[in-house]
Amino acid sequence: MAYFNIDGVEEKTYDAIVIGSGISGGWAAKELTEKGLRTLVLDRGKDVKHVVDYPTTSLHPWEMEHRGTLPLDVKKENPIVSKCYAFKEDAAHFFSKDNEHPYVQEKPFDWIKGYQVGGKSLLWARQVQRWSDFDFEGPARDGFAVDWPIRYKDLAPWYSYVEKFAGISGNKDGLAELPDGEFLPPYELTKVEKYFKEKVAEKYGDRHVIVARCAHLSEQKDIHKQQGRVQCQNRVLCQRGCPYGGYFSSNSSTLPWAEKTGNLTLKPNSVVESLIYDEEKEKVTGVRVIDAHTKEVTEYFSKIVFVNAAAANTNLILLNSKSNRFPNGLGNDNGLLGKYFAFHNYRARATAEYDGFRDFTTDGKRPTSGYIPRFRNIHKQETNFLRGYAAGVSTYRSEYTSEDGLGVALKENLAKPKLGPWRIGSHMMGETIPKESNLVSLNNSKKDEWGIPLLNFDVAYDDNDEKMIQDYFEQITEMFESAGFTNIRTSDSKQAPGLDIHEMGGVRMGKDPKTSLLNEWNQLHTSKNVFVTDGACMTSTGTQNPSLTYMALTARAVDYAVKELKNGNIS
């Protein structure tokens, strides 16, 4: 049975509370503590200390019980999370298992969760791109979703701010649709990717093949030395946790930085049940927390609260934060909380071969690939679908061994793999249109082990997504053919929404409280001391990997919140 902690209110009172310690929560913690605020960070998962809690980080495959693969019974017990490319023996401990944290699917949705300190910042693909005004102005132009309350100029200095600290490798490509940033040296395209880049440039004036920008230290700057991070070793074992801090994560970067200020209190195993709304003071005064193990209920108090539990859980917490003033969830006067939930469309793929450049191959590893920025519907509407898509492109030289011969001849054949043709792979990263019919809600008839209603997903693709997939197939095939690639094949994985692991929306930003939940500072319209800067705040999805935008929005919102606090506008 749960019981309330009766310790004094004073020792449970902070200047700020941050819910969640993933990419956006880690940034909120860093910025708040650095600005002098005593900050409590709550995470529902276990504690994970940088380096110390990366048990598989340096293991060879033969040092793992199942050589890196998972037993069939584990996969059967986890049919959803097993679909994720990184759910393998070396990283399974960083994923939440299906039976541990259930949810309800009105329509198929693969919700991939990583409940621990650092969240999915330990597991992300580390690809980062800035948005441009083509993305921020999309809804205003075509009338789907609502107009963003900000533009690129509002976020550009904050992109620069977080890029310098996080460490972003990339090339200054001079593209209006994908603004340049504060880059460390870029990784190199392969010989065939460079060839493909040239062929695409020859044929198309509006399409570009670039090296994908990634949150890896291709070069160590002084700010990274101060964080205790060193240059990326190109091991490409990132999902295990990087002992070098070669890629950006909350665990290696923002949380240790916050801890050094002396203003951080971190409490893992803290399941946030709801935000506490004081009817008399007409504001949120704190957070109600359930201990993950003992089920003890504790209330913590603060002047401001940042909700960064990742998009789906942020929606859940706000929906479950009910009061007489907000019977349908905190800030939900307009009934839009949980609606316009969105994601990215990653269903479409293409492969091909190239028989040229036989005297070249690939050697070593790199943590990124080639990238084709969005080129559809940028300056005007030109297709039968709205918005557009980007695409990843990677190439490698295939190898095979000969088992001919006996004795020494056989050993030599096995030791010297023969090279086959170049292989080319591509995948689409499509923007989906937020719709009122795509929503998450509380399932009040089913609850988790802490007594909190399960989250109900009613999310699906639409005709716009199907048309986008077909256009990608046509355009990538045409581009491959123009480069002389052969054996071109396209495929649709038919995967459910969610496996892209880019959940967004439900608590969207906007100009009008009647049509949005947050203002231009990521501040709840109806509760000025509550901020949301994770994926839940997104008004539309763009085609870019969204994490860099969450970082920039968070740093910007904290700067605003602290100034408002000091000026007495938030009490």
pLDDT > 90: percent of the chain: 92
> What was the pLDDT predicted at 400?
67
pLDDT at 416 over 90: no
pLDDT of residue 7: 57
Percent of the chain whose predicted confidence (pLDDT) is above 70: 97
Quote the pLDDT of residue 419. Answer: 86
204-260 pLDDT, tens digit per residue, is 999 999 999 999 999 999 999 999 999 999 999 999 999 999 999 999 999 999 999
The Cα–Cα gap between 409 and 203 comes to 48
Residue 3: predicted pLDDT: 47
How would you write 277-346 as a 3-class SS string?
EECCCCEEEEEEEEECCCCCEEEEEEEEEEECCCHHHHHHHHHCCCCCCCCCCCCCCCCCCCECCECEEC
Q: pLDDT band for position 407 (50/70/90)?
A: confident
Query: pLDDT at residue 35 above 70?
Result: yes
Average pLDDT value for residue range 246-275? 98
For the stretch 428-466, pLDDT in tens is 999 999 999 999 999 999 999 999 999 999 999 999 999
pLDDT in tens, 354-367: 999 999 988 889 99
Stated pTM of the model: 0.95
Closest CA to 130 of 550, 556, 560, 554: 550
Q: Hey, CA dihedral for 408, 410, 411, 417, is it positive or negative?
A: positive
pLDDT, one tens digit per residue, over 144-186 is 989 999 999 999 999 999 999 999 999 999 999 999 999 999 9
Neighbour-count burial for 240-270, b at 16+ CB within 10 Å, e otherwise: bbbbbbbbbbbbbbbbbbbbebebbbbbbbb
pLDDT digits (tens, 9 = 90+) for 36-70: 999 999 999 999 999 999 999 999 999 999 999 99
Q: Is the dihedral of CA 153, 155, 157, 159 positive or negative?
A: negative
- Banded model confidence at residue 404, pLDDT cuts 50, 70, 90: low
pLDDT surpassing 60 at residue 141: yes
Q: What is the mean pLDDT of the chain?
A: 95
Are residues 156 and 330 in contact, defined by beta-carbon separation less than 8 angstroms?
A: no
Which range (213-222, 412-421, 455-464, 485-494) has the least confidence? 412-421
Query: Is pLDDT above 60 for 6?
Result: no
CB 328 within 8 Å of CB 527: no
Q: Bridge-partner residues for 371, per DSSP? A: 210, 392
pLDDT in tens, 361-386: 888 899 999 999 999 999 999 999 99
Q: What is the DSSP string of 171-234?
A: ----BTTB---SEEPPPPPPHHHHHHHHHHHHH-SS---EEPPBSB-SS--HHHHHHT------
